[in-house]
Amino acid sequence: NLDLYSELKELIPEYQERVKKVKKDYGTVQLGNTTVDMVIGGMRGMTALLWLGSSVDPDEGIRFRGMTIPDCQKKLPAAIPGGEPMPEAILWLLLTGKIPSKQQVDSLSQELRSRATVPDYAFKTIDALPVSAHPMTQFATGVMALQTQSEFQKAYESGISKSRYWEPTYEDCMNLIARVPAVAAYVYRRIYKDGKIIPLDDSLDYGANYSHMLGFDDPKMLDFMRLYITIHSDHEGGNVSSHTAHLVASPLSDPYLAFAAALNGLAGPLHGLANQVINVGTLEVLRWIRSIVAEFGTPHISTDQLKDYVYKTLNSGQVIPGYGHGVLRKTDPRYTCQREFALKHLPDDPLFLLVSKLKEVVPPILTELGKVKNPWPNVDAHSGVLLNYFGLTEENYFTVLFGVSRSFGIAPQVCLAL
Ligand code: NMX
Ligand code: MLT
């Protein structure tokens, strides 16, 4: 099938049967013991949800439908030769479990473009907020305005049968995914630029178009955006945003409502907002680097100076943003692939060098504390420096990029959980 809907129409009845059979055959099988720590820790380490799109191994990190990030980089279609996987490809993979062909991905790009028109009142709803409102607040507000277009809500009111819930849900997911970049880009243009909307370019794929609508057309940034959306799309079901979407969708709240709720969870500094915080940190260090460069005539910061900075942060009662994780116990592969991207495209960038040095300095210090279960860097420790390099320097906006990406991971949950 060239289109995703036809592919799903074939797969979903099979999937529904499989879930029924698993329930019938294994419904009473126990899946482990619940400890007090798990309960106090908010279900830490507890197998608690059926999550189809991805799984996170503590040591190995994310697998999307069984595929690691390097697998995705090798096997999913790219927009340019040797480039990063296209977000359309990860969406196809998440929903179907199959690797799409380039033709299927191109047809999905086209479909998303054709669904991308955002009603004017969504922009006006955002305009009702003060420009000083946090970008995540403006973004979630825009998403709530889009909710008025929910197909699921209409279908439910007209009495659609339960076995067909997935169809209007799928429509909502596709419309939502197609429309969030324009809403998110408007938030950026409104807060940081001239407030003018840059229209979608019909020749560009999803990731490239989002970057274009933000106002960034450097081909390397377009490819970084594809990678960014791909790796931030999903991270199993235990994290706050994905879990929230699943929970909110369970009483048949439509995908817009579920996604807006997810965004509000993502806006917490221990979750998605950590990428903003790490950048604030690194920008402070950047200022510090500049003062060192000015004073000593060299950009090289000593390891001891960096250690002092880390201790100072910890001694003031703060966490080191970008380090640690609820599930992972090794370096996040999403950090590693961003590092590889940086090594390829910006090996000499001073902020990148600083982030690299932080990876040497921070883990031993966190280990020394004796209580941190994972002293290694997570996804948020790296994205800020790459965005900053390409000119997207407004760190308060970074979590919105994470949010746009997370709309992908939520789609399989709400479409297939029904
Ligand atoms: N810096 C300082 N202390 C830390 C850190 C860190 N990066 N990570 C964990 N700890 C502390 C934690 O605060 C807790 O202390 P206490 O017992 O005094 O409350 C102790 O170590 C044990 O925590 P863990 O079991 O290792 O971690 P937990 O699963 O509770 O939390 C995070 C996971 C991600 C919330 C935590 O590691 C953290 O706050 N990291 C910094 C924020 C961050 O980078 N968040 C982004 C996560 C990824 N994302 O994309 O959402
Ligand atoms: C995420 O991508 O959601 C974060 O890494 C948080 C998590 O998975 O717990």
Q: What is this model's ipTM? A: 0.98
Cβ(239) – ligand 2 distance below 6 Å: yes
Give the residue-averaged pLDDT of 394-400: 90
Residue in the block written with tokens 């902020």: 351
Cβ(403) – ligand 2 distance below 6 Å: no
Question: Is the pLDDT higher at 296 or at 89?
Answer: 89
Local confidence band at 298 (pLDDT 50, 70, 90 cut-offs)? low
State the pLDDT at residue 101. Answer: 98
State the pLDDT at residue 276. Answer: 65
For 300-350, write each residue's pLDDT tens digit. Answer: 678 888 888 889 888 988 888 889 998 999 999 999 999 999 999 999 998
User: Which pTM does this prediction carry?
Assistant: 0.94
Q: How far is the CA of 315 from the centre of ligand 1 (A)?
A: 15
Task: Give the DSSP letter string of 280-298.
Answer: HHHHHHHHHHHHHHHHHS-
Cβ(38) – ligand 1 distance below 6 Å: no
Number of other CB atoms surrounding residue 313 within 10 Å: 17
Cβ(80) – ligand 1 distance below 6 Å: no
Cβ(265) – ligand 1 distance below 6 Å: no
Q: How far is the CA of 319 from the centre of ligand 1 (A)?
A: 7
State the pLDDT at residue 58. Answer: 95
Cβ(322) – ligand 1 distance below 6 Å: yes
Looking at 3.30.530.20, 1.10.230.10, 1.10.620.20, 1.10.260.30, the CATH number of the domain 274-396 comes to 1.10.230.10
State the pLDDT at residue 289. Answer: 40
Nearest ligand 2 atom to alpha carbon 332: 5
Give the residue-averaged pLDDT of 181-200: 97
pLDDT at residue 293 is higher than 80: no
Query: Is 243 part of the annotated catalytic residue set?
Result: no
Return mean pLDDT, the chain: 91
State the pLDDT at residue 306. Answer: 83
On the 0-12 / 13-18 / 19+ scale of CB atoms within 10 A, 342 is buried
Number of other CB atoms surrounding residue 116 within 10 Å: 20
- Residue 265 dihedral angles phi and psi, to the nearest 5°: -75, -40
Ligand nearest to the CA of 271: 1
% pLDDT > 70, the chain: 93
For 133-160, write each residue's pLDDT tens digit. Answer: 999 999 999 999 999 999 999 999 999 9
Dist CA 407 CA 122 (whole Å): 18
Domain spans, the chain: 274-396
Query: Is 380 part of the annotated catalytic residue set?
Result: yes
Local confidence band at 20 (pLDDT 50, 70, 90 cut-offs)? very high
Name which residue sits closest to atom 35 of ligand 1, judged by CA.
270
Q: Where are the alpha helices (DSSP H) in 194-254?
A: 206-214, 219-232, 240-249
Q: How far is the CA of 327 from the centre of ligand 2 (A)?
A: 8
Select from 372, 378, 383 the residue to mutate for testing ligand 1; criterion: most ligand atoms less than 8 Å from CB.
Answer: 372
